[in-house]
Amino acid sequence: MLVIPVIDIKDGKCVRVIQDLADNTEFYSESPINIARLFRKENFKCIHITDLDGAMYGDMKNYDIIKEIANSVDIPIQLGGGIRNYEIAERIIKELGVYRIVIGTAALTEPDFIKRCLDNFSASKVIVCIDEKLNNVVKDGWINFADITPLDFAIQMEKIGIKRIIYQDVTRVGNFSGPYVPRLLEIAENTNLKITSAGGISSYKDLKTIMEIENKGIDSIMISRALYENHFPCQRIWREMESEDISLDLPKVN
């Protein structure tokens, strides 16, 4: 089970998102770059970045910060938020060195854009994010309903060539209420998609819950708030070692 830490960036800062992108964000750090370096030091194998300004407004205000993060760590980065046309997608992959792009709203409104990305970048570079609220996919930074169920949307994306999705129930984001397992299983059992679960993770217990259904194709999980607030014992060990100035001999990533 691959655990992927999440860095949400708003106005150049690392923030916490709770259920809604517009109002319910709380500040974590002035420097998303330092957070990325810390996650790398703690030996994570991949980092997910969400550009919240991009998700809401479709701009790339945090471009320079994301570029510096990509240049600061030696592990793959996947980036989502505001990637709504091919020109932006191409710039992100070619100029930023981002390993994978995560597309949400544009996958709903511009399926031909998804097909073009798949043709030019391959399926390994493109992930579609399915954000759910009340069995309806939401878009535009979780503001508007798209009038399609998560399962139907997943099936549509699989038909055009998508191989992996990120699924999350947005009402669970940042509130430690656990992943929405019934929907994860519904999508997994009706498609051949690889699935990354996001939203709601509170502790190792939730990780175990996902690990128990890993054989369904749910092979990775994204975590944000629980990491920042040290809900995992191993984090406390690492930070205690750091405070005592003990060198960590972490294995290198091949």
Rounded CA gap, 149 and 134, in Å?
9
Question: Active-site residues: which are they?
Answer: 8, 131
Q: Smallest Cα–Cα separation from 142: which of 24, 57, 48, 56? A: 56
CA angle 106, 7, 204 (to 5 degrees): 110
To the nearest 10 degrees (0 to 180), the angle between helices 111-121 and 150-160 is: 40
246 is written with which tokens? 């003990």
